[in-house]
Structure 1
Amino acid sequence: MYTRYAYRVSTRAARLPLGRVGRVTTTLITGASGGLGAEMARQFAALGHDLALCARRVERLEELRDEIGTAHPGVRVEVRALDVTDDDQVFEVVRGFRDDLGGLDRVVVNAGLGKGAPIGTGRYDANRETAMTNVVAALCQTEAAMEVFRDQGAGHLVLVSSMSALRGMPKSMTVYAASKAALSHLGEGLRSELLHSPIDVTVLHCGYIASEMNEQVAQQVRFMASTEDGVRAMVEAIEKRRPEACVPALPWSVLAPVMRHAPLGILRRLV
C-alpha cells in the first residue's frame, strides 16, 4: 500500500529512534514562544536536538534561542514568526525550516487556544476562534509537515491533544474538548494510513499541565503538574515514538478509562 512513495532512506534506518542515523535530530515546534512549547524546546535541546521554533511572539523566540544557546552551545536553533491561522505562512515557514536545516525529523503541532464559553451565551467569537485554531490551523500544520515527510520518506508527527478529547465537556470546555477530539481523530486516521511506514504519528492526550494558557485556573483544578514535570512526560512519550499517550501517566492513564465510560454525572465531578 505504501510503496508508491519513494523513500530516500532505508526503512530500517527510518524506524530507528531519531538521532541514531548518523546525524542530529531536527525538531520543529509550533507555539514555541512560551508555556509547553518553550519548555519542550529546552528539554529537546538538552537531548541534543537542533530546533526550529516558531510563534507569533518573535522577541520571545529570540530570547529562548539565546537561553538555549548559552546552556547548550552545540545546539542549532532557528526561529521564524508564525501565525498558525495564516495558511500560506504555515507552509512557507515549514518549508523554510526544512531548507534551513536540510530536512525535518519531527514536527510538533503544539500551537493551540483554550478560549471558550458555554454555547449560546453570546461568545460565539471565542468559541469560533478556538475551533479555527485547534482544528483548521492544526490541520494546516499537519498538511505542511506531512508534505515534508512524504517527500523525504520519513518523519515523526506529534499532535498535542488533551484528555478532554476523550469525552464531551460542559460549559466553557465544550468547544475546546470538541476541537481536541478532532485533532486526536486526525492523528489516528493518519496513523492508520501510515501503519508500518517510516512515518510515525504520536497523539499526546495531556492532562492538567501548568502553562500560560491555564495559569488563571491553576489553583482551581486537581492533578495539576508543573510545566517541567508535565513536559518531561511529553518528551519521554515523544522520544519513544508512542502512538498515543496520556501525560503525565499518573493519574491520567488510570483516569482515561473512567473518563471514556463514566456516566456524565460522575464525569462532571472528575473534571
Structure 2
Amino acid sequence: MSKGTILITGASSGLGAEMARQFADLGYDLAITARRTERLDELAAEITAKHADRRVITKALDVTDDESVFRVFKEVAAEFGTLDRVIINAGLGKGAPLGKGRYDANKATAMTNFVAALAQTEAAMEIFRAQKSGHLVMISSVSAMRGMRSAITTYAATKAGVAALAEGLINENVKAKGIDVSIIYPGYIRSEMNDKVEQKTKFMVDTETGVRSMVAAIEKRKQKALVPSWPWVPLGFALKNAPMSVVRKLF
C-alpha cells in the first residue's frame, strides 16, 4: 500500500534523483519530472525493478515554461487522484560575478531558480488549497543565509528568494488550512551541479548521505532544516549573524 504521492521536479539526476530513490524505499508513489526524459525513464525502471508495487509517473518538464508547469502539476494530481507532497528542487548553479559580462548566466539562474520556482509554488498551492491538504517542500541552500560573493552571488540570492516565498506561506498560516510548508537548506552535498568541485571541499558529503538527511527532515515536516545538521546548524548560525569580514573567511 502506498504511503502517499510525491511530485519531484529536477529529478533526472543529483539530489532529485536520489530523493526519488529514498522516498520510493519509504513506500511513496512518485511523479518525477525533468527536461531529460531518458534519464527519468531509467530512474523509473530502476525504482520499479526494486519496488514492484511502486507507481512512478514520468513527465517531461521545463520549469521555465509556465504553461507546462501548471499543466503537468494538474495532470499528476489527476492521475494520482491526490497529490500529497510537491518538492520544488529543479535549479541551476551557474553564474558569474556581477558586472563581468555574464548577465546571460546570472539571468538563466534567476529565471530557473526563482521565477520558475514561483510558478511551481503557484501550481502546487492551487492543488493543495483545493484539496485542503498537502506538503510543499522548497529546496533552498545554506548560501541563502547571507549575500554570497563572486560566481554564486545570484545563485545565493535566488535561494534566499525561494526561502522567502515559502516563509511567506508559513506566515500566512496555511498549516491551519491543512497545508505544511518546509524549507530545506542543504549544505555541501555532492551532486551533478557541483561534480567539478574537488572532493577535498570542506564538509562535502556524498549524495546518498546528504539526501538521507534531507529526506528525514522532510518526513518530519520541519518548517526549516539545515542539512546535514552537523556542521550546518552551527555554521548556518555563524553565516547569518557574523560580520561580513568573518563570512568572507568562512565561505
The 3 A distance-change label for structure 1 pair 243 and 95 is same
Aligned residue identity for 2:52: P
Match of 1:221 in 2: 201
Distance 2:177 2:248 in 1: 40
Q: TM-score, normalised by structure 2?
A: 0.98
Offset of 1:23 from its aligned partner? 5.6
Q: Determine which of 256, 261, 268 is the counterpart of 2:241.
A: 261
Match of 2:221 in 1: 241
Offset of 1:195 from its aligned partner? 4.0
Offset of 1:220 from its aligned partner? 5.3
Distance 1:195 1:25 in 2: 18
Match of 1:27 in 2: 6
Q: TM-score, normalised by structure 1?
A: 0.90
Offset of 1:221 from its aligned partner? 2.4
Match of 2:100 in 1: 121
Aligned residue identity for 1:224: M
Q: Could you say what the CA RMSD is over the residues aligned between the two structures, in angstroms?
A: 1.1
3-state secondary structure, aligned to 1:107: strand
1:87 equivalent to 2:66? Answer yes
Distance 1:43 1:33 in 2: 14
Determine if contact 1:218/1:224 at 8 Å carries over to the other structure.
no
Offset of 1:261 from its aligned partner? 1.1
Q: Determine which of 41, 56, 59 is the counterpart of 2:38.
A: 59
Q: Which moved more, 1:47-56 or 1:216-225?
A: 216-225
Q: Determine which of 236, 245, 251 is the counterpart of 2:231.
A: 251
Distance 1:245 1:218 in 2: 26
Distance 1:74 1:144 in 2: 28
Match of 1:156 in 2: 135
Determine if contact 2:10/2:33 at 8 Å carries over to the other structure.
yes
3-state secondary structure, aligned to 1:69: helix
1:96 equivalent to 2:94? Answer no
Q: Trace 1:138-177 onto structure 2 (pairs within 5 A).
A: 138-177=117-156
Aligned residue identity for 2:92: L
Distance 2:83 2:3 in 1: 10
Q: Size of the alignment, in residue pairs?
A: 250
Determine if contact 1:160/1:203 at 8 Å carries over to the other structure.
yes
Aligned residue identity for 1:221: T
Distance 2:185 2:4 in 1: 24
Question: Structure 1 regions of 5+ residues with no counterpart?
Answer: 1-21
Question: Structure 2 regions of 5+ residues with no counterpart?
Answer: none
3-state secondary structure, aligned to 1:53: strand
Q: Percent identity?
A: 58
